[in-house]
Structure 1
Amino acid sequence: MFCNQCEQTAKGTGCIKIGVCGKTDEVAALQDLLTYAIQGLSLVANEGRKNGVVDDQVNRFSCEAIFACLTNVDFDPARFEQWINTAVTLRDQLAAKVKTAGGNIDFAAPAYSFTPASSIDGLVAQGRDLDFMNKLDENEDLRSLKQIIVYGIRGLAAYADHAAILGKEDDSVYAYIHETMADLASTGQDLNQLVALTLKCGETNLKAMELLDAGNTGKYGNPTPTSVPLGAKAGKAILVSGHDLNDLELLLKQTEGKGITIYTHGEMLPCHGYPELKKYDHFYGHYGTAWQNQAKEFPEFPGAILFTTNCIQKPADSYKDKVFTTGLVGWPGLVHIGESKDFTPVIEKALELPGFAQDTDKGSVMTGFARNAVLGVADKVIDAVKNKAIRHFFLVGGCDGAKPGRNYYTEFVEKVPEDCMVLTLACGKFRFFDKDLGDIGGIPRLLDVGQCNDAYSAIQIAVALAGAFECEVNDLPLSMILSWYEQKAVVILLTLFSLGIKDIRLGPSLPAFISPNVLNVLVENFECKPIAATPDEDLKTILG
């Protein structure tokens, strides 16, 4: 086994026995083999586009299969066996269509002629022999760039999949994925070619995030500032964690009138700001935080738990009986809600469990400060900057994680001066989301922009402010202090690079898959740097 795609990777270099996330050597091998199979499919899909052959099923499947390899999505070997076999079946079916259309399907890359073994054990052996990541290129720097691209595409595929579920697609996104995965099936690229593909990944991701934003706001309305209770109501309960708004809506519809209160966890908190979701009376509040406290939060929750998409720790045996999954999420032994989206098993388990014995009041937090809400008070913000009531903006966001060192972000926000504002998004905010920072001229100093899926909103806020001040984003009194954990954070960083945004501070540690020479390129071109040892050092450097 070798996996170094997340921030928590063992010893800061790579997991070689079992993933710190709980991923087994078996699953790691199957994920590598699936990625390899997708390369073979991409070779054909890329050639198909050149000859007018575009297959919608291949497009959607490619994103789903790549997304399944992202950190903390699926650990079920049986599902990877299905995906690998489906990838090869679709490859061969599409190859026949492309050949008929006059395309050239005589590919030299071994990924095209890959034949999967007939058993899971055989597939695992193939994946281990493949040693996919280590053999991307013999040159350390080229291999590093290729890994950045592969991990970036995994994040991109996640956003594209979320958008497609809401009916928003653009073939340019699928075309980039297939063209680039096909290109990586061979060697011979030089440093400049790979750098260009890396930035193209970020540029393409901006389109995917724009599609996702349109899907969310088009279906559920623009988020509005909303106070969300952190306590509980007496009665039966279901906790929803992950990212998927569509699944949450379906669950809300299916639980109407059943005496069950729906709570959010982690990245689902911003869902309370959407008009078409918060209209449900039984959609009440937010329970718990995110990564750092999951070990105690989930067993204590007295109802059923639904995991959607990723960023969820593998559930312990002590509470597995009340955990359900949907979408691409899966672990052996858990009940998975399939394509029917019939949440009856979740509802029945919630009714069986005791629920909350009494009402509790644990205060509340604000969410819903997406771009429409923030830009709605842009005139006040601009005046406050001109009048020096607001000295600086800090975007403190990104992923959370369990490894020590992330208390930096809590301390940073606590120490931000009172004449500065903090915008935040993604699960990293759960280190400080309940802090009362007060306000500046009636505008809260801490603004929750939303999920990591809402990074498009944060970018648009920055672009709009730059337009208002007639300057570039890099000239704004704005600093980005980002935390990363998995591959959606990687592709967001690539998106920021593609936009030319500089002076980003990243932590709590730098990616193990970035070689020293590649890191130098990022530093020289984008002035990207690791967070300092303490928040005080960074604040002093930024504010003077």
Structure 2
Amino acid sequence: MSMFCFQCQEAAKGTGCTVRGVCGKTDEVANLQDVYIHVVKTLAFYHAAAMDAGLDKAALLEDEIISALFTTITNVNFDADDLGRKVVAAIKLREDVRDELAKAGKLPDEPAFVRWNEGTVETWKSLGSQYGVMRTENEDVRSLRELLLIGLKGMAAYAHHAAVLGYRDDAVIRFMDKALLALDDDSLGADELVGLVMECGSVGVTTMALLDKANTETYGNPEITEVSIEAGDRPGILISGHDLKDLEELLEQSVDAGIDIYTHGEMLPAHYYPAFKKYSHFKGNYGNAWWKQVEEFEAFAGPILMTTNCLVPPPSSASYMDKLYTTGTVRYPGAKHIEDRKPGGQKDFSLIIEQAKTCQPPKKLEQGSIVGGFAHAQVKALAGKVVDAVKQGKIKKFVVMAGCDGRFKTRNYYTEFASALPADNVILTAGCAKYRYNKLNLGDIDGIPRVLDAGQCNDSYSLAVTALALKNAFGVESVNELPIVYNIAWYEQKAVIVLLALLSLGVKNIHLGPTLPAFLSPGVAKVLVENFGIGGISTVEEDIKTMIG
């Protein structure tokens, strides 16, 4: 093997990518990511010590840990040279903090592994996988370590977005430190790791609540909004990913530029926030989920800004490479990169704005509009109407179909499943999985749309809050007594932390597809099935019978 990675749903042959990632990352990128995570485990030790000692540089280590975990999520950083620089810089930062701890007399006893500093960028490119997950021989321990690490990566993504808006929680980074150190602790067996995985889910709820607070206090509570999916007649910029702060600064800097701003993929829910509605040039949403971006970026004609994960490597024939911009954690060789904002400042989007002015308007792909904005505050406002509809038998089931979309044809299942649901069923969704059915004409029930979109995968917290609100409204003891079933699609690591969060809240009998994760060993999968009723999917007909009855 020149690499090994099985962290996403599309892992080759359902077992793992060993030559090149299905996502498009090279073996060099995969190997450097393994080294980066290995170094991050050592950072956790010094970060915990720096926090205990009250060192100012603890904040720098916190940002580095969160950024590194986010950077190694699927479809974020495809630039081997950039990753190599990041690993070297992380080791230097670690040593700087260690020196300060030593000078202050606060340096604790150091486990041998935290002093790791072997090889060079060039050797890491070819040998980095030896520091990856496969060096754990016990299959179940390896599976639980990977499940915990993948949960941490998803958690880091949410923590990153919250931190960008100035919101942090020491409990979150404290758990990250503990969990990262546990990944290299051979004294921990399966039982202890299961406990850490469940704790990861609980802290995941805390992290998602933090991000929800950051977004709503900064931009207001999402409102029911009709979003145009039609292209206009002016040149535009297409913004994809998840970062609302980047969108805010882009909108502000382009107010009088004579161009329009369109969202793509997971940026669609930005239209639901009141703060963005004042921008008349915030035109609408263009296109669909992340995996369709090559053809949709070609059609757009203007420049594209990737703010977080979900980048698909452009093919050599792509005409938009000279118009592709990245920022934040995202990197791709040859794409223009917009540097991070300085403290108290903004990112400079002038280059992409000026290029947009020289481009043609987007090609018209679709007509009409879609409706969303059903985050927890909005659903609570409708609670009385919803409860009445349930009591009157007009709504029989809520079907949570949140999560990720993907390129495999097996995901047509979710379109067919949504279409086959009885007319008295309402879909609760968040994440790009919604693109499989949010443009279907499924109608409404007494004015309540049959697809209630809470927002990005980052907004999955709303689905948990909605379930808890319904539990209180109906006066039942457990969310499992509600007329709610879960048919969740996953692709990458943020969906995994959502799954763990739901498990920590006591939700059972979740169906996960289109396949169960390759990193789940038979033994670990058995624990999830026996304790939580986790299951896969089969055919639409069988699953309608099983879940809906």
TM class by shorter-chain length?
A: over 0.9
**Kept after mapping to 1: 8 A contact 2:372/2:454:** yes
**Kept after mapping to 1: 8 A contact 2:35/2:131:** no
Which residue of 2 is the match for residue 503 of structure 1? 509
The farther-off stretch of 307-316 and 277-286 is 307-316
**Structure 1 residue 123 displacement after superposition:** 3.0
Could you tell me how far apart the structure 1 residues matched to 2:288 and 2:437 are? Answer: 10
SS at match of 1:70: coil
Amino acid at match of 2:70: F
Counterparts in 2 of 1:35-434, with a 5 A limit?
35-53=37-55, 55-110=58-113, 112-118=114-120, 120-128=121-129, 130-135=130-135, 137-317=136-316, 318=318, 319-340=320-341, 341-356=347-362, 362-434=367-439
Unaligned runs of 5+ in 1: none
**Kept after mapping to 1: 8 A contact 2:11/2:22:** yes
Amino acid at match of 1:106: D
Which residue of 1 is the match for residue 30 of structure 2? 28
**Structure 1 residue 491 displacement after superposition:** 0.9
Could you tell me how far apart the structure 1 residues matched to 2:385 and 2:45 are? Answer: 52
Output one character per residue of 1:437-457: Cα deviation in whole Å (capped at 9) or x when no partner: 111111111111100000111
Could you tell me how far apart the structure 2 residues matched to 1:109 and 1:161 are? Answer: 30
**Kept after mapping to 2: 8 A contact 1:260/1:350:** yes
Amino acid at match of 2:479: V
**Structure 1 residue 57 displacement after superposition:** 1.0
Output one character per residue of 1:259-283: Cα deviation in whole Å (capped at 9) or x when no partner: 1011111111111111101210000
Could you tell me how far apart the structure 1 residues matched to 2:9 and 2:482 are? Answer: 29
**Structure 1 residue 121 displacement after superposition:** 1.2
Amino acid at match of 1:22: G
Indicate which of 473, 476, 501 corresponds to 2:479: 473
**Structure 1 residue 126 displacement after superposition:** 4.6
Amino acid at match of 1:195: V
**Kept after mapping to 1: 8 A contact 2:403/2:490:** yes
TM-score computed with the length of structure 1 as normaliser = 0.96
Over aligned residues, Cα RMSD in angstroms? 1.5
SS at match of 1:397: coil
**Structure 1 residue 107 displacement after superposition:** 2.5
Amino acid at match of 2:339: G
**Structure 1 residue 361 displacement after superposition:** 6.6
**Structure 1 residue 53 displacement after superposition:** 4.8
1:4 aligns with 2:3: no
Amino acid at match of 2:132: F
**Structure 1 residue 100 displacement after superposition:** 4.4
Could you tell me how far apart the structure 2 residues matched to 1:352 and 1:328 are? Answer: 27
Q: Percent identity?
A: 45
Could you tell me how far apart the structure 2 residues matched to 1:9 and 1:184 are? Answer: 22
Change (3 A) 1:224 1:381: same
**Kept after mapping to 1: 8 A contact 2:528/2:534:** yes
Amino acid at match of 2:40: I
**Kept after mapping to 2: 8 A contact 1:233/1:360:** no
The farther-off stretch of 15-24 and 360-369 is 360-369
**Structure 1 residue 103 displacement after superposition:** 4.1
Indicate which of 526, 541, 545 corresponds to 1:536: 541
**Structure 1 residue 294 displacement after superposition:** 2.2
**Kept after mapping to 2: 8 A contact 1:74/1:331:** yes
Which residue of 1 is the match for residue 463 of structure 2? 458
Could you tell me how far apart the structure 1 residues matched to 2:241 and 2:53 are? Answer: 39
**Structure 1 residue 101 displacement after superposition:** 4.8
Amino acid at match of 2:19: K
Output one character per residue of 1:350-398: Cα deviation in whole Å (capped at 9) or x when no partner: 11211247x8870110011111111101001111111111111001111
Could you tell me how far apart the structure 1 residues matched to 2:362 and 2:534 are? Answer: 47
SS at match of 1:405: helix
**Kept after mapping to 2: 8 A contact 1:7/1:509:** yes
Output one character per residue of 1:162-202: Cα deviation in whole Å (capped at 9) or x when no partner: 10001110011111111111121231211111001101111
Which residue of 2 is the match for residue 486 of structure 1? 492
Which residue of 2 is the match for residue 18 of structure 1? 20
**Kept after mapping to 2: 8 A contact 1:109/1:186:** no
**Kept after mapping to 1: 8 A contact 2:299/2:362:** no
Output one character per residue of 1:438-478: Cα deviation in whole Å (capped at 9) or x when no partner: 11111111111100000111110110000111111111000
Could you tell me how far apart the structure 2 residues matched to 1:473 and 1:251 are? Answer: 41
The farther-off stretch of 294-303 and 492-501 is 294-303
TM-score computed with the length of structure 2 as normaliser = 0.95
